[in-house]
Amino acid sequence: MNKENKACINDLPKEVDILKIWIDHGRKPVDANYSYAVWLGGNKLPSKLPFKVLRNDKKIQAIASNDLIQAVFYPTDIESVKLKTFYGGKSATATCGPTNGELKTDSLKSDLGEISVSYPCTLMLDRKAKILYVNDATMNSNLKTITVTIDGKKHEVTMPNGDHCSDTASLKL
């Protein structure tokens, strides 16, 4: 615990309610899928959900609300992903398939036009603040940029690298 927070520990409740959910697909699922939403907007669920599912498949998971578009762009060929894991302070790299540095992703149709990315990533577009947030989905410590194309306009996002490769980058549009 952060030493600065110890003074506040007496103010914490002794018990709290915890939400725990899981999807049991069995031991060897094949093409198993699910979707769910967690509502934190008060006691009454609105008759119409406050977001629209733009896409939910193996290549892209994306939703849109009034202010946000949020998406996860997966590699279209999952076997070409270079995975990096950390265990006990040490890193180990496992390579699955070709490592030519190019990972293909699919594009997303939205009310802003077609959205595509140059590399697998999570993306959040804040329409109101006009800020694009991007996170490298593979934690590639050598990745320099991810290009996000929205309705034909390219936005070059400089990505954190090295030990900060899991950090989120932002770009004011």
Distance (Å) of CA 145 to CA 4, 8, 36, 151, 154: 36, 41, 32, 19, 12
Q: Sort strands 131-136 and 52-56 into parallel, antiparallel or unpaired.
A: unpaired
Q: What is the pLDDT of residue 21?
A: 80
Residue with tokens 């934690």: 139
How many Å apart are CA 119 and CA 102, to the nearest integer?
8
Residues 105-139 pLDDT 10s: 889 999 999 999 999 999 999 999 999 999 988 88
Q: What is the pLDDT of residue 4?
A: 59
Residues 12-69 pLDDT 10s: 777 888 878 887 878 887 777 777 777 777 777 778 888 899 999 888 999 999 899 9
Spatial contact of 157 and 148, defined as CB atoms under 8 Å apart: yes
What fold characterizes domain 51-172?
A: Chondroitinase Ac; Chain A, domain 3 (2.60.220)
Residue with tokens 């979707």: 35
Higher-pLDDT residue of 43, 147: 147
* pTM attached to this predicted model: 0.70
User: What token pair was written down for 55?
Assistant: 């896409």
Ranges of each domain in the chain: 51-172
How many Å apart are CA 80 and CA 166, to the nearest integer?
19
